[in-house]
């Protein structure tokens, strides 16, 4: 049985002091059901993607979705957690339920409220998603991990600080066209490429502009079995999807090879019967600019060490053959952990439905989504196409 996205919703991302986690969940759940023209009583299952880990006091949030519509009462609801890929994990769990025949309609919500704790506490919570006894317990943070990765890339392929700055500048410029983005400001290449008081080094060669944001936000999807599309106003089909998990300890992996993402992309593209060059756009996990650069290579756009070529020839830029992160990516859109993977699927569905506004690609046929948990540990790739 095929699965299609038939409705969606997206909150603003950023520091949302006036909104609680519950507010965010309820808002996008209600809006997604309305967008899909689905009654709460028709929903067969709810999946909530959320890391939490101490961002908010509540640790049992799945049934908060029921606050959106009293007719959702009694609907099975499950919280899904897989680090920064919690959103995609929730999407895939709902797809599994539909494909198995256990559900016809599913509501997927991704949400996170990160700004209620201090910056050091955010760093500590996120660090707990590493292999703690070898990494976080030794003082290593995720900026530190990806800083080391960037330095390893530079050692192997030369100084690519300007390349990372071009990725940051591209995504900030793209973010100006995204009405939900946390940072809607074009910073320009020169600013991103210069270490300054406003753009200090954070870890290794990574500057502040190379790092994603701390964000609040939520997004939601309504998924349906293809047999239920008669009354759907729109439908975006999962042509293929793949999940690949790698060892958690970095000590057991060659992180520079980005093998988990590479395998996930390869499996999904093979399942879709297409090549990466057949994609019209992609939303990828740029938690740090080095991650986006490595993703160009993992998805097959460039050979190892040659990801910069796709910036130089314009492939990944707006108007290019395969624009990447037209939403601004995690870099400018923001990165509320549990919401990220759901948000990526929302934005990809909007593109394919021709409803992406100022972000819209001309006549898109296929879209790719890549959501990653940890340092290339939990890797999710979806290939989407328009069905209706």
Sign of CA dihedral 330, 25, 371, 203: positive
Half-sphere exposure of 38 (CA within 13 A, CB side): 32
Among 35, 172, 285, 335, the active-site one is 335
Among 84, 95, 192, 211, the active-site one is 84
Q: Is 160 a catalytic residue?
A: no
Structure tokens at 296: 């160009």
For residue 166, is it left (φ>0), alpha (ψ between -120 and 50) or beta? alpha
Q: Is 227 exposed, middle or buried (0-12, 13-18, 19+ CB in 10 A)?
A: exposed
Beta bridge mates, 384: 238, 367
C-alpha distances (whole Å) from 60 to each of 21, 53, 78, 86 are 12, 11, 9, 15
Q: What CA–CA distance (Å, rounded) separates 108 from 29?
A: 8
C-alpha distances (whole Å) from 189 to each of 97, 165, 203, 213, 252 are 45, 6, 20, 18, 36
Q: Is 335 a catalytic residue?
A: yes
Active-site residues, by number, are 84, 335
């Amino acid at each position: 049985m095929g699965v299609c996205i038939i409705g969606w919703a997206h909150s603003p991302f950023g520091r949302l002091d006036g909104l609680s986690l519950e507010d965010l969940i309820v808002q996008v759940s209600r809006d997604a059901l309305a967008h899909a023209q689905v009654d709460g009583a028709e929903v067969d299952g709810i999946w909530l993607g959320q890391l939490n880990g101490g961002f908010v006091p509540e640790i049992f949030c799945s049934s908060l979705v029921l606050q959106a519509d009293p007719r959702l009462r009694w609907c099975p609801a499950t919280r899904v957690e897989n680090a920064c890929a919690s959103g995609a994990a929730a999407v895939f769990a709902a797809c599994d339920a539909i494909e198995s025949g256990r559900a016809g309609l599913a509501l997927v919500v991704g949400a996170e409220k990160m700004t209620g704790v201090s910056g050091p506490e955010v760093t500590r919570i996120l660090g707990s998603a590493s292999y703690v006894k070898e990494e976080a317990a030794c003082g290593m943070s995720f900026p530190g991990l990806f800083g080391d990765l960037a330095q390893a890339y530079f050692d192997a392929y030369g100084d690519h600080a300007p390349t990372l700055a071009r990725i940051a500048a591209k995504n900030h410029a793209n973010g100006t066209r995204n009405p939900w983005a946390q940072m809607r400001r074009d910073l320009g290449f020169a600013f991103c490429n210069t270490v300054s008081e406003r753009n200090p080094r954070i870890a290794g060669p990574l500057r502040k502009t190379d790092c994603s944001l701390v964000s609040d936000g939520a997004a939601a999807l309504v998924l349906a079995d293809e047999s239920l599309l008669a009354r759907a106003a729109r439908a975006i089909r999962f042509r293929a999807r793949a999940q690949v998990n790698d060892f958690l300890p970095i000590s057991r992996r060659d992180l520079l090879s980005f093998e988990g993402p590479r395998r996930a992309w390869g499996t999904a593209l093979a399942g879709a019967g297409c090549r990466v060059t057949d994609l019209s756009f992609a939303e990828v996990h740029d938690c740090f600019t080095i991650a986006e650069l490595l993703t160009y290579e993992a998805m097959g756009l460039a050979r190892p060490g040659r990801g910069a070529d796709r910036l130089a020839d314009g492939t990944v830029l707006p108007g290019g053959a395969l624009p990447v992160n037209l939403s601004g990516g995690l870099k400018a859109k923001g990165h509320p952990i549990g919401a990220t993977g759901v948000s990526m699927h929302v934005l990809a569905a909007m593109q394919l439905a021709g409803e992406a506004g100022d972000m819209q690609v001309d006549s898109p046929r296929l879209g790719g989504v890549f959501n990653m948990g940890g340092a290339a540990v939990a890797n999710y790739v979806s290939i989407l196409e328009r069905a209706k």
